[in-house]
Amino acid sequence: MNSYLKWAGSKRIILQHILSSINYYEPDVFIEPFCGALNVGANVDCDIKIINDINSDLMNLHALVKINPQDLIESTKEYFERGIESYKDIREEFNNYDRMDVKKAAMFLYLNRHCFNGLCRYNKNGNFNVPVGSYDKVYLPEKEILDYHKKLANCIAFNNMDFQMCFDLAKHNPEYDRRKIVFYCDSPYVPLTSDFNYSAEGFTIDDQKRLARLAEECDHTVIISNHDTPVTRELYKNATKIISFPVQRTISSKGGKREKVKELLAFYER
């Protein structure tokens, strides 16, 4: 099942490969500290799911898909009816709107479907700054929203916090002591450019090192995705195993030819 979001870095293309890697461990609890478009989290087969992302706009939207999809759809329709020519006005309205509610989520979904290639990027002031895309017609993913609503029935938490707190949650909760937990960490990748900020705060090399250390110290199985580079090979040198595979790059400001890049999965098995 595909996500209702367009998302740069989406795992849709290699989803079955990732799902088979996770399901191999037969988790009772699945924890995803960097959920993104929820391509993985919505499709994992387990009893309990805990979903997190540092992006508060994204988590507000995901939570509303679970608890109030019809209101979200109706509110989003109003923005879609204004068309692609209203993109800059709606982006400005979104950046000046402070409440996390259905209206904010509807604007975020409008921006996601109308912006360039599903990028989610903020400037240093925390403002969404992705330019408009070039589309003849933009699809409102009503069916996908309702499908995801059903898939998220066993998601017990939508958290908006630093990824380390997800590891702390598993460590300090006695309820999980006898359960088989698997983490899947699709963190912002080691960057190929220096100006990309997925959240307003960005994700630094120190964050990458912190994630690798947490995976090493965790009492549960952790799987991490990233680019396959000398930097990531050094980061994950203590992993139980690493597998590498080519992936078609989906972002290209010049259009036309898409490059293949290598990605990896690092496994810290318990």
Q: What's the pTM value of the predicted model, to 2 decimals? A: 0.88
The predicted pLDDT at position 258 comes to: 62
Could you tell me which residues are beta bridge partners of residue 159?
52
C-alpha atoms less than 13 angstroms from C-alpha of 240 in its C-beta half-sphere: 12
The helix-helix angle for 102-114 and 56-67 (nearest 10°) equals 110
Amino acid sitting at position 39: N
Whether the Cβ atoms of residue 236 and residue 5 lie closer than 8 Å to each other: no
CATH of domain 15-268: 3.40.50.150
Q: What is the pLDDT of residue 140?
A: 97
CA dist 9 to 103, 133, 247, Å? 26, 17, 10
Q: How many CB atoms lie under 10 A from the CB of residue 9? A: 21
Return d(Cα 3, Cα 253) in angstroms, integer.
Answer: 23
- Longest distance between any two alpha carbons in the chain, whole Å: 54
Q: Where are the domains of the chain?
A: 15-268
Helices (H), 81-226: 87-95, 102-114, 142-151, 163-172, 205-217
What is the pLDDT, as a whole number, of residue 104? Answer: 98
Provide the residue-wise pLDDT of the chain in tens; the chain has 270 residues. 789 999 876 676 789 889 999 999 999 999 999 999 999 999 998 889 999 999 999 999 999 999 999 999 999 999 999 999 999 999 999 999 999 999 999 999 999 999 998 899 999 899 999 999 999 899 999 999 999 999 998 888 889 999 999 999 888 777 777 789 999 999 988 865 545 554 545 788 899 999 999 999 999 999 999 999 999 999 999 999 999 988 876 555 455 456 778 899 999 999
Element holding 223 (H helix, E strand): strand 221-227
- Which pLDDT belongs to residue 200? 46
pLDDT for the residue numbered 224:
98
Q: Do 180 and 28 touch, CB atoms closer than 8 A?
A: yes
Average pLDDT, the chain: 89
Q: How far is 116 from 120, CA to CA, in rounded Å?
A: 9
- pLDDT tens-digit series, residues 2-52: 899 998 766 767 898 899 999 999 999 999 999 999 999 999 988 899 999
- List C-alpha distances in Å: 204 to 66, 179, 197, 201, 228: 31, 32, 10, 9, 17
